[in-house]
Chain A
Amino acid sequence: MNDKWRLSEDAQLSIDFIIGFTIFMIAFIFVATMMSGLLVNLQSQTIDYDAVAYRTGVMLVEDPGEPSDWHLYDLSIQREDVERLGLSIGRNSPGILQQAKIEKFFCSSASSSCEGNDEFCFPVDYRQKLIFGDYPYNFHISLNEIDGDGSWSLGPEPPENHPYGYIRRSVLIKKPTYAIVNVSQDPTDSTTFKVLKVFIDMEKLYNLTDATKLNPAYLRDPLHENMSINLQNFTIPDTDLTSMQMFEYPGPVLMNIFPDFPTVLCHRDIGDPDWTFLTNNTTILFERGYFDLEGITDMDVVELRLTFTKIVGDGTPIQLEDYAQNPPLVPAVLEVKVW
């Protein structure tokens, strides 16, 4: 009878197996718990738009771009040579932007014919040369002078209630050099001259002969910026400009004045009924890149020779470095929004 009632151990798990299986299951439960942390990585990654906006802001404000005179390049032929965009005047002057670079940067077009023109293609060029990365970011960049009129913007605003990465930077803008030259139309002057010669000695503007180097924020820079000469003090009526020539020294060698940008222009008042005659709003503008295109370096001397219909002076040539000045730096605010 005892034999029959003895516990039968047939067809049951052995105790060895149970212990082994238990240890195995405990370890498996550990792993299963940690597995839940893995799936977070497999979710859609949240992109750090603020980091992209910050990086774009730093590049615009603190980097002069690569090459640093990219704003003189004609984009219809040299688009690939511009590697990186940046608005600063130089590596050692972060926070000071160059007006010419700002104007070139914000000049863009979204149409398909932008490749053949001297403008940036929105948004492709900016994604490749400023924002970088494979993801097609949307962006809105705006720059506004605080007490002035200058206001530039690029790209659409972010949609309502859509989160975006944001950075705001405070900057100074370096405006182009100008010179105010008073002509002297004194009719009683015995030595009468109808030609005005303006000498621009690049060496005096760039490599000052005394032992100090000028802070680049105050450099008078016709090679990379616009420069304008305001002619004032026209007292004799019917004075007109008959010819404008540029000469390069040593020589003098006649330089080209191109029909389109970049070239040397003469702006005159057109509101006046006698619009061909000169008033005190007459300006000669050297467009940025003109000297570069003509191969003028910072060691050369050039001469602007203006011929008028009436006397304009006593023949002494004008040294532009005595008259050229920079307007004060203008504070501005730059915003970058990325989404």
Chain B
Amino acid sequence: MARLNDSGQWIVMMGFIVSIAIFLLALVVAESAIVGKTTSESVLEFPKTDIQDLRSELMEMRWDKIETSEYQYDIVNLSLERKSSVIWYQPDLTGEVPVINIHYNNGITEYNEVYAEYF
């Protein structure tokens, strides 16, 4: 029996390899086209207003000499229920400068602060 004519196998194989390589490169090109987030999506996602609100409310209560721990339960529960975010704060009056530790986490952004009240 005559040997199979396999003189074209290199061509086919190289063609096959080359086309797969091109296909993969094309996939990479297609992926690189749409990356990146619109500015307004980032702005909406970051809870700037929530964090500012929390800080200003705590500071206002301190300036009005209201004990912030009294309303902690209100704030923590409302925030968890209505805004799906975890808030915790703890004033620390020992030490030279009174500080308040603030923690905020809405699942995407986590914020921690030690705010020193200079008198």
Contact = CB atoms under 8 A, between A and B. Distances in A.
Interface of A: 14-17, 19-21, 23-24, 26-28, 30-31, 34-35, 37-38, 40-41, 48, 50-51, 54, 92, 94, 211-215
A28 B26 CA distance: 10
Nearest to B39: A51
Interface in B20-61: 20, 22-23, 25-27, 29-30, 33, 38-40, 43, 52, 55-56, 59-60
Among A34, A51, A54, A213: residue with most chain B CB under 10 A = A34
Nearest to B25: A31
Contacts of B9: 16
Nearest to A22: B15
B15, B22, B39, B43 — most chain A CB neighbours (10 Å): B15
Interface size class of B (residues with CB under 8 A): 20 to 34
Given A40-B33, A213-B117, A214-B63, A54 B26 contact: no
Of the candidates A15, A41, A213, the one having the most CB atoms from chain B within 10 angstroms of its own CB is A213
Contact of A21 (B15, B30, B52): B15
A50 B26 contact: no
A94 B53 CA distance: 10
A297 B43 CA distance: 40
| Residue with the greatest number of chain B CB neighbours at <10 A, chosen from A21, A27, A48, A94 | A27
B108 interface: no
Given A38-B33, A50-B40, A215-B60, A20 B14 contact: yes
Contacts of A214: 63
29 contacts: A14-B7, A14-B8, A16-B9, A19-B8, A20-B8, A20-B11, A20-B12, A20-B15, A23-B15, A23-B16, A23-B19, A24-B15, A24-B19, A27-B18, A27-B22, A30-B22, A30-B26, A34-B27, A34-B29, A35-B29, A37-B33, A51-B40, A54-B40, A92-B56, A92-B59, A213-B63, A213-B117, A215-B60, A215-B63
B88 to A, nearest CB: 20
A19 B12 contact: yes
Given A27-B20, A92-B59, A212 B29 contact: no
A34 B25 CA distance: 10
B119 A34 contact: no
A14 B8 CA distance: 8
Contacts of A28: 19, 22
A4 B52 CA distance: 94
A16 B11 contact: yes
Given A30-B22, A215-B63, A23 B39 contact: no
Nearest to A214: B63
A234 to B, nearest CB: 39
Closest 4 CB pairs of A and B: A16-B8, A27-B19, A20-B15, A51-B39
Contacts of A92: 55-56, 59
Contact of A212 (B22, B23, B25, B63): B63
A212 B119 contact: yes
A55 to B, nearest CB: 8
Q: Which of B19, B33, B56, B59 has the most CB of A within 10 A?
A: B19
A14 B22 CA distance: 24
Given A24-B18, A31-B22, 9 more contacts: A14-B8, A17-B11, A20-B8, A20-B16, A23-B16, A26-B19, A34-B27, A37-B29, A54-B43
A34 B30 contact: yes
Contacts of A17: 8, 11
